[in-house]
Amino acid sequence: MTETRRGQRKHIFVTGGVVSSVGKGVAVAAIGRLLKSRGIRVSIQKLDPYFNVDPGTMSPYQHGEVFVTEDGAETDLDLGHYERFIDEHLTRESNVTAGQVFEHVIEKERRGDFLGGTVQMIPHVTGEIRERILRVGEASDAEVVIVEVGGTVGDIESQPFIESIRQLRRNLGRENVFYIHVTLLPHIASTGELKTKPTQHSVQELRRLGIQPDMIICRSDDEMPPELREKIALFCDVDEPAVIPLVTFSSIYEVPLYLEKIGVGAVLAQALRLAERTPDLAVWEEIVAHVNGEENRPLRVAVVGKYTQLPDAYLSVVEALRHACIAQRGRLDLKWVNAEDVEADGPEAHLNDARGIVVPGGFGPRGIEGKIAAARFAREKKIPYLGLCLGLQVAVIEFARAVMGAAANSTEFDPGTPLPVIDQMESQRGITQKGGTMRLGAYPCALEPGTLAAEAYGESLVHERHRHRWEVNDRYKDVLAEHGFRVSGVWPEGGLAEIMERTDHPFFLGSQFHPEFKSRPNRPHPLFAAFVQAAKRVHLEGDQEALPIGASDEMPAPPPELDPEGEEYPVPSGRFQG
Ligand code: GLN
């Protein structure tokens, strides 16, 4: 199909200027919601100019959370915003990196596809980028595709991407393409002013690359005075209604309502000749009305992780907690707890005031003993606990140590442990390549009737997203179950434990998958909803001191063949069969 024929579909390209990290992804997601609220089919794509093939191999310090799609792609965290705002499952097509583009072009060159030709940035690399942009619309059959270019204009890496979106305006027709530039207005404290000059320079740079923006979204922490709107319109040659001030809101979920009010939806509908339809944002208004919670007593939930200085590393977890609180009308009081501090000071010092404890996903041994201690504290003190992937694994290690002995561990942290209660999946053995090789994406999970999990979901079969190499070792499941920690969700084909829960606790549940990726502000994930509900119940019942302490005291004695110290516990012969 030629690009001209493909041009019936509308494309909105969003670039960034001045600095990164001003919330371009949220603005894009919010615009997606405005279009969807008009009944328009919309899809969103992120172009990341870095050379990594995907962010799966990057440190959370570099990149924040790795968002996993239903089809198992490890993607940029902005895809999480997109999915949560437009309430659609996106696919691997929705995140394109320079690494993917160059890898494919070079592969084609080696195959001989360009035989005789010189392979160049234009047209080969830009052609590949254009192709990948157009594919999103085709695969999703969206009427409007919004494409966010990562980074800021002027970055060397982003130039082929900017050039590609410039070419697309020619190829698809001017009436089918709209450019939005998102900038920052810095605040000068000494004069109390917001400055527009960096925006002007950024637009000049964009024009130098051949793109004149149709809309400028100006991010600022303070209200933008009306005369600046006029000034930016004049200097940047954009219609005044298309200069959009965007201050920082206390909740990102307020952004779509604000952008609608200030006329973004109307400007887009007119420019792209979309049939003008009245937006229906009723559900969104409901979300915003309850986003800050109504209860007087905030619900303190501790998240025990190792990237607590960088909350973006756990973005979807935090959003999923918020969604559950919106539904429960609770006021979330998030407490970041560094697992290494728990290791050093003991759990009481950091978790005594927590009404719920979450241990999110993670990799590697740093802070692991702190996470194990947090799981023990939650179990013993009967504090609602939600373990996500690694959070399930540490809960298993912790309880196995209590039942079978201190040597219990995951082979991820102690490859020689005599009690490998968490072991590498069979399918993962021998894999040396790091990128894209984990067990990734959605797998079915059958729920055991009569369990917390089945009750929370209200269904018997669910599909959840994964990103891991290790699993609960089959050999120890019965022993753990006998002592009150049982499997309540299983991957039917592989027999792997997907959910485990305690039978002697208000709420103690861990999942091998990442439920946080499927939570939506209007539809909290059932496991998060059940966790927050339990935390609220415990919270309302009274102070921590009033809670029963020391569930371990009440724990049934281990079966006679087991040595509580674990030293003599028979080492299973053979390894866990995934
Ligand atoms: N490191 C663990 C594994 O690979 C847990 C992964 C995670 O929490 N996402 O199985």
Average pLDDT value over all residues in the chain: 91
Distance between CA atoms of 435 and 439, rounded to whole angstroms? 11
Least confident range of 132-136, 188-192, 196-200, 476-480: 188-192
pLDDT at 486 over 70: yes
C-alpha pair distances (Å), 559 with each of 269, 484, 562: 69, 13, 6
Distance between CA atoms of 463 and 518, rounded to whole angstroms? 10
Ligand 1 atom, smallest distance to 388 CA: 8
Q: Residue 272: pLDDT band by 50, 70, 90 thresholds?
A: very high
Calculate how far, in angstroms, residue 104's C-alpha sits from the geometric centre of ligand 1: 29
pLDDT at 554 over 80: no
pLDDT at 561 over 50: no
Does residue 72 come out as left (phi exceeding 0), alpha (psi in the -120 to 50 range) or beta?
left
* Ligand 1 pocket: which of 371, 393, 424 to mutate (most atoms within 8 A of CB): 393
Q: Residue 3: pLDDT band by 50, 70, 90 thresholds?
A: low
DSSP 112: T
Ligand 1 atom, smallest distance to 470 CA: 10
Instruction: Work out whether the CA dihedral 403, 406, 412, 417 comes out positive or negative.
Output: negative
Calculate how far, in angstroms, residue 413's C-alpha sits from the geometric centre of ligand 1: 11
Ligand 1 atom, smallest distance to 390 CA: 8
**pLDDT higher at 2 or 168:** 168
Question: pLDDT of 275-314, one tens digit each?
Answer: 878 999 999 999 999 988 777 789 999 999 999 888 899 9
Q: Residue 569: pLDDT band by 50, 70, 90 thresholds?
A: very low
Determine what percent of the chain falls in helix, strand and coil, rounding each to the nearest 5.
40, 20, 35
Confirm whether 514 is a catalytic residue: yes
Q: Residue 353: pLDDT band by 50, 70, 90 thresholds?
A: very high
Six token digits for residue 187: 């605040």
Contact 447, 459 (CB under 8 A): yes
Contact 298, 265 (CB under 8 A): no
Least confident range of 163-172, 271-280, 474-483: 271-280
Query: ω before 60 within 30° of 0 (cis)?
Result: no
CA 555 to chain CA centroid, Å, is 37
Secondary structure (3-state) at 341: helix
The catalytic position among 389, 398, 466, 468 is: 389
Residue located nearest, by CA, to atom 1 of ligand 1:
363
Q: Residue 540: pLDDT band by 50, 70, 90 thresholds?
A: confident
What is the per-residue pLDDT for 563?
A: 35
Least confident range of 48-57, 145-154, 292-301, 565-574: 565-574
* Ligand 1 pocket: which of 358, 470, 496, 576 to mutate (most atoms within 8 A of CB): 470
Mean pLDDT of 320-345: 95
Confirm whether 81 is a catalytic residue: no
Question: pLDDT of 229-262, one tens digit each?
Answer: 999 999 999 999 999 999 999 899 999 999 999 9
Mean pLDDT of 522-547: 81
The catalytic position among 468, 514, 525, 539 is: 514
What is the per-residue pLDDT for 157?
A: 93
H helix runs in 308-449, sequence order: 315-328, 339-345, 347-351, 368-381, 390-404
Calculate how far, in angstroms, residue 391's C-alpha sits from the geometric centre of ligand 1: 9
**pLDDT higher at 2 or 467:** 467
Does residue 275 come out as left (phi exceeding 0), alpha (psi in the -120 to 50 range) or beta?
beta
Ligand 1 atom, smallest distance to 438 CA: 4
Residue located nearest, by CA, to atom 5 of ligand 1:
390
Mean pLDDT of 348-360: 97
What is the per-residue pLDDT for 564?
A: 35
Least Cα distance to 528 among 476, 425, 456 occurs for 456
Q: Residue 538: pLDDT band by 50, 70, 90 thresholds?
A: confident
The catalytic position among 236, 516, 525, 539 is: 516
Question: pLDDT of 376-433, one tens digit each?
Answer: 999 999 999 999 999 999 999 999 999 999 999 999 999 999 999 999 988 888 888 8
* H or E segment to which residue 27 belongs: helix 24-36
What is the per-residue pLDDT for 542?
A: 60
CB-count burial class (<10 Å; 0-12, 13-18, 19+) for 436: middle
Amino acid code (one letter) for 474: D
Who contacts 401 (Cβ-Cβ below 8 Å, separation ≥6)? 372, 407, 408, 566
Mean pLDDT of 193-212: 96
Ligand 1 atom, smallest distance to 466 CA: 9
What is the per-residue pLDDT for 553?
A: 34
Distance between CA atoms of 61 and 311, rounded to whole angstroms? 10
Q: Residue 61: pLDDT band by 50, 70, 90 thresholds?
A: confident
Calculate how far, in angstroms, residue 116's C-alpha sits from the geometric centre of ligand 1: 47
* H or E segment to which residue 217 belongs: strand 215-220
Least Cα distance to 436 among 410, 469, 464, 411 occurs for 469
Mean pLDDT of 10-35: 94
Calculate how far, in angstroms, residue 424's C-alpha sits from the geometric centre of ligand 1: 10
CA 352 to chain CA centroid, Å, is 28
Instruction: Give percent of the chain with pLDDT exceeding 70.
Output: 92
Distance between CA atoms of 383 and 489, rounded to whole angstroms? 22
What is the per-residue pLDDT for 566?
A: 33
Q: Residue 524: pLDDT band by 50, 70, 90 thresholds?
A: very high
**pLDDT higher at 85 or 61:** 85
What is the per-residue pLDDT for 565?
A: 36
Phi, psi of 518 (to 5 degrees): -110, 10
Question: pLDDT of 40-58, one tens digit each?
Answer: 999 999 999 999 999 999 9
Compute the C-alpha angle 323/327/330, nearest 5°: 90
What is the per-residue pLDDT for 21?
A: 78
What is the per-residue pLDDT for 557?
A: 40
How many other β-carbons are positioned within 10 Å of the β-carbon of residue 553?
8
Q: Which residue has the tokens 């084609």?
A: 108
* Ligand 1 pocket: which of 371, 469, 516 to mutate (most atoms within 8 A of CB): 469
Residue located nearest, by CA, to atom 8 of ligand 1:
361
C-alpha torsion 566→568→574→577, nearest 10: -20
Six token digits for residue 270: 């007119």
DSSP notation for 512-578: SS-GGGG-BTTB--HHHHHHHHHHHHHHHH--GGGS---HHHHSPPPPTTS-TT-TTSPPPSS----
Secondary structure (3-state) at 354: coil
Ligand 1 atom, smallest distance to 364 CA: 1
Q: Residue 337: pLDDT band by 50, 70, 90 thresholds?
A: very high
pLDDT at 552 over 60: no
Confirm whether 389 is a catalytic residue: yes
pLDDT at 571 over 50: no
| Ligand 1 cavity residues, CB under 6 Å | 361-363, 389-390, 393, 412, 467-470
Least Cα distance to 167 among 135, 124, 215 occurs for 124
